[in-house]
Structure 1
Amino acid sequence: MTTAAATSFGAFVIAAAAAGRLVVQPRMGFSDPRRMRAGLERTKFAAATTVGTITLDSYTRLNDHRAVRRALAGGTPLNGYPIVAYPLNQTRALLDGVLDASFPIQVRHGSSRPQQIIRALTAAGLDATEGGPISYCLPYGRTPLRESVSNWEAACHLLAERVAPPRKPHLETFGGCLLGQLCPPGLLVAVSVLEARFFAQHGIGSVSLSYAQQTDPAQDEEAVRALRRLAGEFLPAEVDRHVVLYAYMGVYPTSARGARRLLETAAELAVRSGAERLIVKTVAEAHRIPTVEENVAALETAATVAAVTARPGGTGPVADTGVYTEARTLVEAVLELDADIGRALCAAFARGVLDVPYCLHPDNAGRARSYIDDGGRLRWAAVGRMPIRPATTPGDRAEMTSARLLSALHHVARSFDG
């Protein structure tokens, strides 16, 4: 039984991009192995250039494997694939005949304690996952930041040790998706670059840098261009890298028409900005967990739009409103704190050099605030102790009340449903 792909995840995406194809990917995970395999097969044979996803369940993310076993024993469906609890042979059987050079697969999880997940996925013949010491700690739980950094250091070394050449271990930073929404692009870009550099410092030879679609297409294009530029400036030349764009991560349109159009704008943005991979969302996002069929439809919609969108290759002219400068300022400020990036990140949050707006984690300073201006762009209302400036536009930086926050959270959904 052969499960290991001859081509690494990162190498596959880079090759597809070189051939002018956008790689599209679902966020799909099922606890029933038969349904999970069917989802992978349908993704593989969709009318698009695809990579597969195995998204893990919430209990596995939290390392509550006893709860996983209880659910499986009782026949209770989980919201993802429990890769640690299932026997290794079962996962290998799931992948057999699906995972190959034409179809690499990534494991997605959300854990600030990913070591057991890394052991399970590499034992099954996989080489790619995602996360990060900041992006899978601050928004999602109460794990102390220093503990998350230590866990991710160990996870990087595990992945690097357990993926044999000629394949390269691949890690995708989730840093460009902090809280999914209402985080101005400069901070998203900076954290994505810092986490990718953290991965490289701990032995990972292939990375992807993420950015989540936000509220304004022009601002987003500027941000992705800035991310690509900074990756070239701050990552070692020998580290393979690409950019992955996420379709909007916040409150999604409730209408099928609005949801489809939002996905189409994400595909257009990916092509215009030069991103190599797009993680899609479906027409069902606002209502329930999408079916396999809905995921495949989203993949094919995105691929169709990408194929007819002009490709400037990430080098055409784009407005400069300061995203690159802001992100670079934050990256440099963090790197000045310590030669070890893990220690630098911990120090940065302790001092407020990095501060995620509306994030309630105890290790986040919580002084930063953002807002959506009258033109639809995300801006800083307050920056706390970060070494950047808040917006200077007049009149629209009123205090963020609960009503204003709720309105901002629904801004995109309202715009596309309207």
Structure 2
Amino acid sequence: MPRGPFAAAVAAARARGELVVQPRMGFGDPAAMRAGLTAVARARATTAGTVTLDSYTRVGDQAAAVRALADGSPLNGYPIVAHPVEVTRWVLAAAQRYGMPVQVRHGSALPEEIFAALLRTGVDATEGGPVSYCLPYSRVPLRDAVDSWARCCAAYTRLRDVGVEPHLESFGGCLLGQLCPPSLLVAVTVLEGMFFRQHGLRSVSLSYAQQTCPEQDEEALAALRRLVDELLPELDSHIVLYTYMGVYPRTSEGALGLLGAAARLAVRGGAARLIVKTPAEAHRIPTIEENVAALEHAARVAAAEPPATTGVEDTGIYAEARALIEAVLDLGSDVGVGLVRAFERGHLDIPYCLHPDNAGQARGYITARGRLAWARAGRMPVRVDRAAGGRPAEMTSDGLLTALSYVATRYDQAAPPAVGPAESVPALPR
């Protein structure tokens, strides 16, 4: 199976029994971005580097990115389209010096200019998807996003012309990051993987975001692995786990506890990569040092966690995800067309997502056991399980805020009293 540098590095780490840990790091200044990659490469962990793009680039406002660079305005990521190719290659050389793979992360529903920049610079790994970067993060019509991503996938395969196999990660296992029962997360990431394959990709990763219940998450990861084996068997693939994407604990101890739980889940669930968050997440953009400290913490916890030796309880996540996938595939042989039609008909419906192309009839809630369940399923082929804790009353604004803070509150309350400022992380000794 062909592999580019990114996928090959992840596969090599997996063969050694090591979890790859990766930050969500991006800086507008090339020197800062290069320094960040260097620090991540030198961390005491098996790492992958990240170049996260800025908001202007994500929405295609390249003129604003250029103006920001010209007047020295701060950016919340790296403007890969605005910087000359030579500058970006200089930035990436820091990672290449240490043999560390790098992935560009962006968040764009219409990413054609971004993919063109990837091709110019030779970056072999990026992420996103036609659903996962459209409905949660934009107002772009889903049909337009599907068409754009189809063109981007086809274009990205041109890296093979220079002997590089591109790698594309679906963000579908994250969606809004919270209050979405796992079956929908699993279904969307698999469907995006099938979409990537349809448009020429041979190396992919499928995502899942840590949710409210470790046991439920382990079952979801097992369901995801099974569906990948069944539906994408010919692809080079691996699983990537995201540390909780919702409201983050405000104390350092709570945040590190949550990150540690994600690292243990990654090992038990068979993930090859873990996307790491820092204790600064609840307060501000993390520094390079804070990112490195979080990476090393996750790596230490993962190294101490033995792989799972027993199976997980089957509460129906696999069957439900399979039903959602089949509902899309029944709408046409073209996966992109099926996705558009599925959202039009409410066969896929993301809870609490306000995008105009989302039906908005589905609702998730947290049961008394801390699991995510359907309160309302809309027109999706899933069952509202009264035994999961009973259908709750309609969600109020107060109830929604409480649910959104469920994980943060639990980990902050479990943490011992902080010694210093809640957002501080000790600098990494060198």
Q: Same fold (TM over 0.5)?
A: yes
Amino acid at match of 2:361: R
SS at match of 1:46: coil
SS at match of 2:50: strand
CA distance in structure 2 between the partners assigned to 1:38 and 1:28 by the alignment = 11
The CA distance in 2 between the partners of 1:101 and 1:204, in whole Å, is 27
Q: Which of residues 350, 357, 365 in structure 2 aligns to 1:356?
A: 350
Match in the other structure for 2:398? 403
The residue type equivalent to 1:68 in the other structure is A
Aligned to 1:389, which of 367, 383, 386? 383
1:134 and 2:131 matched: yes
Aligned positions of 1:33-44 closer than 5 A: 33-44=30-41
Instruction: Please give the per-residue CA displacement for 1:346-375, whole angstroms capped at 9, x wherever unaligned.
Output: 010011110000001010000001100001
Mark the CA change 1:172 to 1:7 in structure 2 (over 3 Å): closer, same or farther: closer
CA contact (8 A) 1:374 1:396 kept: no
Q: Deviations over 1:238-297 (max 9, x none)?
A: x10000000000000000000000000000000001011000000100000000000000
Structure 1 residue 47: Cα displacement: 0.4
Q: How many residues align?
A: 410
Distance 1:7 1:366, change over 3 A: closer
Match of 2:365 among 352, 364, 371: 371
Letter in 2 for 1:353: H
Structure 2 spans left out of the alignment, 5+ residues: 414-430
Residue 177 of structure 1 aligns to a residue in which SS?
coil
Following TM superposition, by how much is the alpha carbon of 1:18 offset from its aligned partner in structure 2, in angstroms? 1.4
Q: Shift in Å at residue 98 of structure 1?
A: 2.3
Residue 424 of structure 2 corresponds to none
**Does the 8 A contact of 1:127 with 1:163 survive in 2?**
no
State the partner residue of 1:413: 408
Change (3 A) 1:229 1:290: same
- TM-score w.r.t. the length of structure 1 is 0.96
Aligned amino acid, residue 332 of structure 1: E
How many angstroms does 1:388 deviate by? 1.0
For residues 13 and 162 of structure 2, what CA distance do their matches in structure 1 show?
A: 21
Whole-angstrom CA distance in 1 between matches of 2:163 and 2:226:
28
Q: Secondary structure of 2:95's partner?
A: coil
Q: Any conservation in 2 of the 1:135–1:178 contact (CA below 8 Å)?
A: yes
Note if 1:93 corresponds to 2:93: no
Aligned twin of 1:273: 269
Conserved 8 A contact 1:7-1:101 = no
The DSSP-based 3-state class of the residue aligned with 1:354 is coil
Residue in structure 1 matched with residue 49 of structure 2 by the alignment: 52
Secondary structure at 1:70 match in 2: helix
Secondary structure of 1:98's partner?
A: helix
| Structure 2 residue 241 is the aligned partner of structure 1 residue 245 | yes
Q: Superposition RMSD on alpha carbons, in Å?
A: 1.3
Matching residue's letter, 2:409: R
Greater displacement, 245-254 / 121-130: 121-130
Identity, % of aligned positions: 61
Tell me the distance in 1 between the aligned counterparts of 2:339 and 2:318: 20
Taking the TM superposition and a 5 Å limit, the aligned residue runs for 1:253-272 are 253-272=249-268
1:100 Cα deviation after fit: 5.8
CA distance in 2 between partners of 1:100 and 1:155 (Å):
29
Note if 1:143 corresponds to 2:137.
no
Please tell me the residue identity of whatever aligns with 1:340. D
- Aligned with residue 189 of structure 2, among 182, 188, 192: 192
Correspondence list, 1:176-215, <5 A: 176-215=173-212
Choose which of 308, 321, 335 in structure 2 pairs with 1:327. Answer: 321
Match of 2:294 in 1: 298
Q: Distance in 2 between matches of 1:395 and 1:112?
A: 37
Distance (whole Å) between structure 2 residues aligned to residue 68 and residue 24 of structure 1: 29
Rounded Cα–Cα distance in structure 2 between residues aligned with 1:13 and 1:89: 27
**Alpha-carbon separation, structure 1, partners of 2:342 and 2:96:** 40
Is 1:157 the counterpart of 2:154? The answer is yes
Find 1:221's aligned residue among 218, 222, 229: 218
76, 80, 90: which one aligns with 1:79: 76
Deviation at residue 392 of structure 1 after TM alignment: 1.2
Change (3 A) 1:224 1:47: same
Following the alignment from structure 2 to structure 1, what is the Cα–Cα distance between the partners of residues 159 and 92?
18
Q: Which residue of structure 2 aligns with residue 3 of structure 1? A: none
Moved more, 14-23 or 250-259: 14-23
2:417 matched residue in structure 1: none
Q: Distance in 2 between matches of 1:99 and 1:397?
A: 52
Cα deviations across residues 374-411 of structure 1 (Å, max 9, x unaligned)? 01000000000001101212545211111111100000
Contact kept, 8 Å, 1:186 with 1:323, in 2: the verdict is: yes
Contact 1:56/1:79, CA 8 A, preserved across alignment: yes
Q: CA deviation at 1:7?
A: 4.7
